[in-house]
Amino acid sequence: MNGKISIVTINYNASGETIDFLNALKEQTEKSFDVILVDNGSSKVDLDALNVWLEKTYIPGLSVLKNGENSGFSGGCNIGIKKALENGSEWVILLNNDTLPDNGFIVDLRAVLGGKEGLIGIPMDEGPKVAFCGKIGWLRPTLSHTHEVPKKLARYYVIGGGVAIHRSVFDEIGFLDESYF
């Protein structure tokens, strides 16, 4: 697959995680992709920390878009998606800023995306814990895992934290529903 790839990620008061994420992308063995970082109305302190790092670090193909407000996941992603499509991207990759892609991520991604269209979930290995085996502590602001799963399970859904979307999807159905904050 030789088409243009843009990775879109959102920062909201998480400059440390975002810097780790960008460092992981900087170490990719293949460098032919763009990164669109949307700051979703972070505090001045967080944005300053990110800007100090960005001033010292060169990342080819990086665009930083500063959204003056927190538009939520969908709203922030839509800003980045529109920029990616304006730049001629064939594939838009939504990746959460707390992910750390392996060095061969882009190479592997290109191998999978070749000749395809639509929506492709990006597997995320978080060890033996899975998102749907948890509980919410209603009186505490925490989530905890209640079960460990001994093997990988087939999934029948795609999570927004790691998804590849072909431009034809946006042409056909439009952008993400911004009522999903």
CATH at residue 55: 3.90.550.10
Q: Is residue 152 part of a domain?
A: no
| Run of H or E residues at 36 | strand 34-40
Whether pTM > 0.85 for this model: the answer is no
- What local confidence, expressed as pLDDT, does residue 47 receive? 96
* Amino acid type, 5: I
- What local confidence, expressed as pLDDT, does residue 137 receive? 47
Q: Is residue 16 part of a domain?
A: yes
Q: What is the DSSP-derived secondary structure letter of residue 104?
A: T
Successive 10-residue mean pLDDT values, the chain, 181 residues: 92 97 95 97 97 95 96 97 98 94 92 86 61 49 52 59 92 93 79
User: In this structure, what token pair is assigned to residue 136?
Assistant: 């919410």
Q: Is residue 30 part of a domain?
A: yes
- What local confidence, expressed as pLDDT, does residue 91 receive? 97
Q: What range defines the domain where residue 28 resides?
A: 5-124+157-173
For residue 51, CA distances in Å to 19, 56, 64, 65, 76 come to 10, 9, 10, 12, 18
- What local confidence, expressed as pLDDT, does residue 147 receive? 53
Task: Say how far apart CA 84 and CA 64 lie, in whole Å.
Answer: 12
